[in-house]
């Protein structure tokens, strides 16, 4: 069996054992490098190509044993590592609930206190930043951990942009008087400010995600 | 004593010991373990990679990627957490050794 066929057999066995995504791809890269390094060393020691490939395959381990080892180690990981997509969806949902809850509380507080219109406007702008800041921290964590594959990460970034860059607490100027401002709760429009937040969100998420994915190339 | 010491605790201990000295990649680690142990440890070589990846997830190792001869290669290094883990495993291992040794001595006296 050629090394490429061996790698293909390992890939299939990993799939059969439910190992996929970045974890599977990263392991396959390592096994590929291991096989190639071993073959190179054996050829250097005087083995012919067929024997070198056979010995390297045997030393690496059977596709079944490698897939089982990958599964065992994955099971030892935390719940978050084992089910990254589900875990990040749940944590994302919790972030949304936390943001909405804190905004609702802030909204009620501002309404009941009846601050001056200028104070309410300033406080509203600041409170509207809260979900964005919480969400950015969450997104940065996702990017740094590299638990999600590209598609899932792009999806969570898009959702974060859609949700976090909207304004939730709005001042209703039609009802506002000279002294007080009336607050309402709902998804706001996309203003220039929201656009800037989208830009910063995308920039930060790419800043933390891409460097880990780019391989530093050196000549050897 | 950790329950998993006999399962993958030994390769883990050997890997951490080597990585405490310098940054290494997988094949280099396997070759070094095999050389230093006079081929006593004959676990499937490929099985060390899932362990390395778990240690990275647990922040006990840090990883740096490189491309060598067109192939992707990862270099592993021990972190502060990894050093703590190594100390724990070393302690567990010396406890096991002492236990086995004293068990042997006891049997020797009895016979």
pLDDT tens-digit readout, A190-217: 566 667 777 777 777 777 777 655 443 3
Whole-angstrom distance, CA of residue B102 vs CA of residue A171: 78
Q: Quick one: A183 and A84 in the same domain?
A: yes
Q: Do B66 and A216 touch (CB under 8 A)?
A: yes
Same domain, A119 and A31: no
Same domain, A87 and A156: yes
CB contact under 8 A, A33 and B73: yes
Average pLDDT of the residues in B96-110: 74
pLDDT of residue A41: 92
Both A70 and A105 in one domain: the answer is no
**Other beta carbons less than 10 A from residue B98's beta carbon:** 10
As for how many domains chain B has, the answer is 1
Q: Are residues A92 and A69 in the same domain?
A: no
User: Does residue A96 share a domain with residue A57?
Assistant: no
> Is residue A39 one of the residues assigned to a domain?
yes
Same domain, A33 and A118: no
**pLDDT, chain B, mean:** 83
Q: Which of A26, A61, A76 is the last residue of a domain?
A: A76
Give a yes or no: residue A170 inside a domain. yes
Domain boundary among A76, A98, A132: A76
Q: ipTM of this predicted complex?
A: 0.82
Please tell me whether residues A85 and A104 are part of one structural domain. yes
pLDDT band for position A33 (cuts 50, 70, 90):
very high
**Which of A36, A56, A76 delimits the end of a domain?**
A76
Q: Pick A53 or B104 by higher pLDDT.
A: A53
Mutation for testing the A interface, residue in B34, B49, B70 having most A CBs under 10 Å: B49
DSSP states along A155-185: HHHHHHHHHHTS--EEEETTT--SS--EEEE
Q: Which of B98, B32, B82, B65 is nearest to A25 (CA)?
A: B65
Q: Find which of A129-133, B32-36, B43-47 is predicted with most confidence, using mean pLDDT.
A: B32-36
Q: Average pLDDT of A109-120?
A: 77
Which of A28, A55, A69 is most worth mutating to test chain B (most B CB atoms within 10 A of its CB)?
A69
Tell me how many degrees the CA angle A209-A211-A213 measures, rounded to the nearest 5.
75
Range(s) of the domain holding residue B83: 3-110
Query: Is A121 in the same domain as A17?
Result: no
**How many CA atoms are closer than 13 Å to the CA of B97, on its beta-carbon side?**
7
Q: Domain containing B92 — which CATH number? A: 1.10.10.10
Q: Tell me how many domains chain A contains.
A: 2
A68, A141: one domain: no
Domain range for residue A209?
Answer: 80-213
User: A183 vs A22, which has greater pLDDT?
Assistant: A22
User: Mean per-residue pLDDT for A184-195?
Assistant: 62
Mean of the pLDDT values across residues A165-172? 65
Chain A positions touching chain B (beta carbons under 8 Å): 23, 26-27, 29-34, 36-38, 59-62, 65-66, 69-70, 72-74, 76-78, 81, 215-218, 220
Is residue B50's pLDDT more than 90? yes
Give residue-wise pLDDT tens across range A50-107: 999 999 999 999 999 999 999 988 888 777 776 777 877 888 788 888 877 887 788 7
pLDDT at B49 over 90: yes
Same domain assignment for residues A107 and A185: yes
Task: Choose from A14, A33, A40, A68 for mutation: most chain B CBs within 10 A.
Answer: A33
Q: Does residue A187 share a domain with residue A138?
A: yes
Region A108-123: mean pLDDT is 78
Give pLDDT, residue A20. Answer: 83
Distance from CA of A168 to the nearest CA of B (A): 36
């Amino acid at each position: 069996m050629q090394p490429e066929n061996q790698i293909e057999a390992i890939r299939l066995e990993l799939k059969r054992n439910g190992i996929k995504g970045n974890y599977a791809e990263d392991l396959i890269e390592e096994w590929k490098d291991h096989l190639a390094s071993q073959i190179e060393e054996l050829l250097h020691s005087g083995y012919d190509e067929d024997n070198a490939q056979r010995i390297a395959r045997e030393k690496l381990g059977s596709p079944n044993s490698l897939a089982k080892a990958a599964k065992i180690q994955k099971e030892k990981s935390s719940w978050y590592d084992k089910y990254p997509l589900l875990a990040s969806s749940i944590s994302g949902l919790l972030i949304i609930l936390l943001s909405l809850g804190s905004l609702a509380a802030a909204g009620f507080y501002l309404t009941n206190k009846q601050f001056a219109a200028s104070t309410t406007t300033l406080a509203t702008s600041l409170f509207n930043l809260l979900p964005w800041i919480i969400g950015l921290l969450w997104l940065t964590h996702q990017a740094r951990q590299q638990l999600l594959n590209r598609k899932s990460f792009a999806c969570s970034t898009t959702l974060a942009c859609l949700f976090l860059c909207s304004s939730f607490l709005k001042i209703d100027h039609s009802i506002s008087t000279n002294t007080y401002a009336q607050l309402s709760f709902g998804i706001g429009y996309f203003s220039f400010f929201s656009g800037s937040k989208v830009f910063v969100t995308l920039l930060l998420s790419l800043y933390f995600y891409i460097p880990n994915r780019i391989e530093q190339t050196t000549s050897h | 004593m950790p329950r998993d010491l006999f399962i993958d605790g030994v390769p883990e201990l050997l890997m951490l010991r080597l990585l405490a000295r310098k940054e290494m990649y997988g094949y280099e680690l396997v070759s070094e373990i095999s050389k230093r142990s006079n081929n006593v440890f004959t676990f499937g070589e490929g099985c060390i990679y899932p362990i390395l990846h778990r240690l990275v997830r647990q922040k006990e190792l840090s990883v740096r990627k490189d491309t060598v001869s067109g192939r992707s290669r990862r270099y592993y290094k021990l972190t502060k957490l990894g050093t703590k883990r190594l100390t724990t495993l070393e302690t567990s291992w010396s406890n096991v050794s002492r236990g086995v040794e004293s068990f042997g001595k006891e049997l020797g006296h009895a016979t």
